[in-house]
Amino acid sequence: MGHLDPRYIELMDETCEMLRAVYQTENPLTFPVSATGMAGMECVVTNLMEPGDEAIVCVNGVFGTRMVDVMERCGVTVHRLETDWGKVFSEEDVADEIQRHPKAKVIGIVHAETSTGAHQPLEGISKIAHEEGIMLVVDAVTSLGGHPVKVDEWQIDAIYSGTQKCLSCPPGLSPVSFSPRAVEVIESRKTKPQSWYLDVTMLKDYYLGKSKRAYHHTAPVNMVYALHESLAIILEEGLEARFARHERQHRRLRAGLDELGIGYIPEHSLHTLNCVRIPDGADDAAVRASLLDTYNIEIGAGLGPFAGKAWRIGLMGHSATQANVDLLLAALVDCLE
Amino acid sequence: MGHLDPRYIELMDETCEMLRAVYQTENPLTFPVSATGMAGMECVVTNLMEPGDEAIVCVNGVFGTRMVDVMERCGVTVHRLETDWGKVFSEEDVADEIQRHPKAKVIGIVHAETSTGAHQPLEGISKIAHEEGIMLVVDAVTSLGGHPVKVDEWQIDAIYSGTQKCLSCPPGLSPVSFSPRAVEVIESRKTKPQSWYLDVTMLKDYYLGKSKRAYHHTAPVNMVYALHESLAIILEEGLEARFARHERQHRRLRAGLDELGIGYIPEHSLHTLNCVRIPDGADDAAVRASLLDTYNIEIGAGLGPFAGKAWRIGLMGHSATQANVDLLLAALVDCLE
């Protein structure tokens, strides 16, 4: 099926509609960027920001650090609000930073920091930002489809995710959503977004152009087809049931790890990404290789300051099952012997 | 299979090696960008060019026009060399333009202009550009895998393509290749490329990092798997046999269209994309709809100045068969009645 085939346009419209359901939003401008998750970050930043703008970016892991880099490449003056890896930001942290930099156009924050497993509460922060007229940009790569992500209720202005985490679709697309307010800001830009491929002012004529679809780029048709199916599966399960399943399996894993004396690093842990301390004496690489070779289970290595110190165990989407949790626990016992 | 799985790394290495064969190059930096064809253009431009650089861009259709836009978004001063849609550029055109703008860092040109079907000869132009120390950037979206694209012999410095044209793979990746000279230029940049996602200075540590693969972004694993298979099929057929097949089917189509009184627009036509004049009295949209509905054959509408005046008939990769040519000709007779 070609990307201009009328049947494809229908498929894409349905996909965007299901994405709105999963993002819990009415935002018309909700669509999958034609590239993996990091392109979603770049799409949001490149479209919202112009050279000379100021932004506050909350940094407590790899993905906050990246957002700083992506912002700076757009000519943005970035104020980093930092905390230790594994910790989250309090409303007070954010309020203080906003007081210091009241001219910031956006505050960028990671909802689910894949590098640390920290689960950032957003609702209070959003309120504080909006009271000061600052837009909220959220990285939901590892939460969408596994944790509630309430774009409208939490007043998120721009958000991106990836397909290969809790949506249980192959990697290749990055679902984004922009609030009407963000769209207004984009439409009143003084300069063109620096990326043609990610330029929302053109993409919206494709994704929202009801009467006539303006050709922009060739969409990855098969990937959109896969996402369509993944979203249908999610909505069939139901969001609440899905979130409850992620929580249940997280608790089961946590209890099992506790029995093995393996503790969590973040105080506020995600259900979807379980970042735990490698037990004393365990050979990091050997255990991971053995899990992969013998059990076909891949767990993540620690990144940055957690390299060699942490394992990151995903319980995402389709894979968050009791059978997987129990197999991993048994496999860990075996590999740690 | 995860994007960090050792088996995936092997698959990717093999894919890059086969891409080198299809691009007829030894360039180490040859890999599929994790997004569709236009991201390949953006990858090449964003990495080679810095704000304040000058470039000559040859414009004779949609994709030359786009390259100007992408260049300008990078802060490049663009000198447009224009000719009519459907025509190609002569060596003299290019030599004159270079005389006028000797400070140009690159000359950008489209090998296979998908909007007009024009087939641009490159070898002479490349010689002229290199004599003046100017790098050659080539768009090969609709030629790679259907026409010879001799990156080393033609001394192309940077080139991009798409997977969904003559490589007969779904859309989703953009194979690129950079000459060692282009890599030197990129490594001596004064500024960071404005796109993080497409930053070759980081991507090369992933694609070429033999001992240790530096994680950059999650690759679209399934797409790379598909490209791997497509390239294997191409190399099994053999490049020369494949090019000959495209030429044969182009000639067959051309002869058949000639009998129907349907003429080609470009003098130098691609084999892979056949841009023809819509016969007087034919209803453009109705014929295309009828071809799609009754015969499941999609032909392209005219773009820009050719809207309503041209049809673009693809004979690309897997689809360039005698059966398809003969069916289309029969279907056209039926739909034009």
- Tracing tokens 């290199």 back to the chain, one arrives at B130
CA separation for the pair B72, A199 (Å, rounded): 14
- Looking at the fold, whether A165 and A229 belong to one and the same domain comes out as yes
Touching A: B residues 203-222, CB under 8 Å: 217-222
Contact A35 B35 (CB under 8 A): yes
Using CB atoms within 10 A of its CB, is residue B11 exposed (0-12), middle (13-18) or buried (19+)? Answer: middle
Number of domains in chain A: 2
Touching A: B residues 292-311, CB under 8 Å: 292, 298
What residues form DSSP beta bridges with A175? Answer: A32
User: Residue A7: what pLDDT?
Assistant: 87
Asked if A201 is an interface residue toward chain B (Cβ–Cβ < 8 A), one would say no
Asked if B279 is an interface residue toward chain A (Cβ–Cβ < 8 A), one would say no
The answer to whether the CB of B174 falls within 8 A of the CB of B200 is: no
- Looking at the fold, whether A57 and A166 belong to one and the same domain comes out as yes
Mean pLDDT computed over A289-305: 94
- For residue A217, the chain B residues in CB contact (below 8 A) are 36-39
Q: Which two tokens stand for residue A108?
A: 């960028």
- For residue A69, the chain B residues in CB contact (below 8 A) are 196
- Tracing tokens 């509630």 back to the chain, one arrives at A148
The tens digit of pLDDT for each residue in B171-196 reads 999 999 999 999 999 999 999 999 99
- Looking at the fold, whether B226 and B253 belong to one and the same domain comes out as no
Asked if A286 is an interface residue toward chain B (Cβ–Cβ < 8 A), one would say no
Is A1 inside any structural domain?
A: no
Among A236, A265, A282, identify where a domain stops.
Answer: A236
Q: Minimal CA–CA distance to B61: which of B99, B105, B96, B108?
A: B108
The DSSP result for A271-284, as a single string, is SSEEEEEPPTT--H
B45: helix, strand or coil: helix
- For residue A285, the chain B residues in CB contact (below 8 A) are none
B313: helix, strand or coil: strand
Is B178 inside any structural domain?
A: yes
CA separation for the pair B319, B329 (Å, rounded): 14
Contact A73 B194 (CB under 8 A): yes
- Looking at the fold, whether B24 and B91 belong to one and the same domain comes out as yes
What residues form DSSP beta bridges with B31? Answer: B176
- Distinct helix (H) and strand (E) counts, chain B: 11, 12
Q: Which two tokens stand for residue A86?
A: 């594994």
CA separation for the pair A288, A296 (Å, rounded): 10
CB pairs under 8 A between A and B: 118
Asked if A317 is an interface residue toward chain B (Cβ–Cβ < 8 A), one would say no
Cβ neighbours of residue B107 under 8 Å, at least 6 residues apart?
A: B55, B56, B57, B58, B94, B97, B98, B125, B129, B134, B135, B136, B137
The CB density around residue A227, as the number of other CB atoms within 10 Å, is 25
User: Residue B216: what pLDDT?
Assistant: 87
Contact A42 B195 (CB under 8 A): yes
H or E stretch covering B220: none
The tens digit of pLDDT for each residue in A61-83 reads 999 999 999 999 999 999 999 99
**For chain B, what's the residue count?**
337
Is B149 inside any structural domain?
A: yes
Percent of chain A with pLDDT over 70: 99
User: Residue A322: what pLDDT?
Assistant: 98
User: A302: which DSSP letter?
Assistant: P
Contact A66 B196 (CB under 8 A): yes
Q: How far is Cα of residue A265 from the mean position of the Cα atoms in its chain?
A: 20
Q: Which of B5, B35, B226 sits opposite A34 (nearest CB)?
A: B35
The answer to whether the CB of B171 falls within 8 A of the CB of B164 is: yes
The answer to whether the CB of A23 falls within 8 A of the CB of A175 is: yes
Q: Which two tokens stand for residue A300?
A: 């993540």
3-state helix, strand and coil shares in percent for chain B, rounded to the nearest 5: 45, 15, 40
User: Residue A48: what pLDDT?
Assistant: 98
The tens digit of pLDDT for each residue in B190-241 reads 999 999 999 999 999 888 876 667 778 888 999 999 999 999 999 999 999 9
- Looking at the fold, whether B150 and B55 belong to one and the same domain comes out as yes
Q: Which of B36, B38, B197 sits opposite A42 (nearest CB)?
A: B197
User: Residue B215: what pLDDT?
Assistant: 78
Q: Minimal CA–CA distance to A151: which of A133, A177, A124, A131?
A: A177
The answer to whether the CB of A158 falls within 8 A of the CB of A181 is: no
- Tracing tokens 């056949």 back to the chain, one arrives at B274
User: Residue A210: what pLDDT?
Assistant: 66
Is A244 inside any structural domain?
A: yes
CA separation for the pair B107, B304 (Å, rounded): 23
- Looking at the fold, whether B245 and B231 belong to one and the same domain comes out as no
The CB density around residue B290, as the number of other CB atoms within 10 Å, is 17
Is A332 inside any structural domain?
A: yes
Shortest CA gap A122–chain B (Å): 25
- Looking at the fold, whether A149 and A243 belong to one and the same domain comes out as no
User: Residue B214: what pLDDT?
Assistant: 73
Contact A196 B298 (CB under 8 A): no
- Looking at the fold, whether A221 and A250 belong to one and the same domain comes out as no
Res. A284: pLDDT tops 90? yes
Mean pLDDT computed over B282-288: 96
The answer to whether the CB of A270 falls within 8 A of the CB of A118 is: yes
Selected for mutation to probe chain B from A218, A291, A293 (highest B CB count within 10 Å) is A218
The answer to whether the CB of A106 falls within 8 A of the CB of A46 is: no
Minimal-distance CA residue of chain B relative to A5: B298
Shortest CA gap A290–chain B (Å): 13
CA separation for the pair A327, A321 (Å, rounded): 10
User: Residue A247 sits in a domain of what CATH number?
Assistant: 3.90.1150.10
The tens digit of pLDDT for each residue in A180-232 reads 999 999 999 999 999 999 999 999 988 887 666 777 888 899 999 999 999 99
Q: Minimal CA–CA distance to A60: which of A110, A1, A134?
A: A110
CA separation for the pair B35, B43 (Å, rounded): 10
User: B154: which DSSP letter?
Assistant: T
Is B257 inside any structural domain?
A: yes
User: Residue B209: what pLDDT?
Assistant: 74
Contact B4 A219 (CB under 8 A): no
Is B94 inside any structural domain?
A: yes
Q: Which of A35, A193, A219 sits opposite B34 (nearest CB)?
A: A35
User: B304: which DSSP letter?
Assistant: G
Res. A323: pLDDT tops 70? yes
User: A172: which DSSP letter?
Assistant: S
What's at A263, amino acid-wise?
G
Q: Which two tokens stand for residue A305?
A: 């300051």
Asked if B11 is an interface residue toward chain A (Cβ–Cβ < 8 A), one would say no
Res. B2: pLDDT tops 80? no
Among B206, B221, B236, identify where a domain stops.
Answer: B236
Domain assignment of residue A326, given as a range: 239-336
3-state secondary structure A216-274: CCCCCHHHHHHHHHHHHHHHHHCHHHHHHHHHHHHHHHHHHHHHCCCCECCCCECCCEE
Q: Which of A66, A197, A226 sits opposite B39 (nearest CB)?
A: A197
Q: Which of B5, B36, B197 sits opposite A217 (nearest CB)?
A: B36
Q: Which of A36, A66, A226 sits opposite B34 (nearest CB)?
A: A36
User: Residue A211: what pLDDT?
Assistant: 60
- Looking at the fold, whether A188 and A244 belong to one and the same domain comes out as no
CA separation for the pair B198, B202 (Å, rounded): 9
Provide the mean pLDDT of chain B.
Answer: 96
- For residue A9, the chain B residues in CB contact (below 8 A) are none
pLDDT band at B328, cuts 50/70/90?
A: very high
User: Residue B337: what pLDDT?
Assistant: 86
The answer to whether the CB of A38 falls within 8 A of the CB of A28 is: no
User: Residue A154 sits in a domain of what CATH number?
Assistant: 3.40.640.10
- Looking at the fold, whether A26 and A69 belong to one and the same domain comes out as yes
- Looking at the fold, whether B15 and B159 belong to one and the same domain comes out as yes
The tens digit of pLDDT for each residue in A220-270 reads 999 999 999 999 999 999 999 999 999 999 999 999 999 999 999 999 999
- Looking at the fold, whether B66 and B123 belong to one and the same domain comes out as yes
Q: What are the C-alpha distances in Å from B293 to residues A5, A225, B297, B301? A: 11, 21, 8, 16
Q: Complex ipTM, two decimals? A: 0.91
The answer to whether the CB of B8 falls within 8 A of the CB of B147 is: no
Touching A: B residues 16-75, CB under 8 Å: 34-39, 41-42, 66, 69-70, 72-74
Percent of chain B with pLDDT over 90: 92
Q: How far is Cα of residue A185 from the mean position of the Cα atoms in its chain?
A: 23
- For residue A218, the chain B residues in CB contact (below 8 A) are 36-38, 162, 164, 171
Q: Minimal CA–CA distance to B298: which of A221, A207, A224?
A: A221
Minimal-distance CA residue of chain A relative to B195: A73
The CB density around residue B215, as the number of other CB atoms within 10 Å, is 15
Q: Which two tokens stand for residue A125?
A: 């922060």
Among B236, B256, B284, identify where a domain stops.
Answer: B236
Is B1 inside any structural domain?
A: no
The answer to whether the CB of B299 falls within 8 A of the CB of B314 is: yes
Q: Which two tokens stand for residue A189?
A: 């830009």
CA separation for the pair A75, A12 (Å, rounded): 33
User: Residue B211: what pLDDT?
Assistant: 60
Q: Which of A164, A195, A222 sits opposite B170 (nearest CB)?
A: A222
Cβ neighbours of residue B131 under 8 Å, at least 6 residues apart?
A: none
Mean pLDDT computed over A26-33: 97
Q: Which of B38, B196, B222 sits opposite A197 (nearest CB)?
A: B38
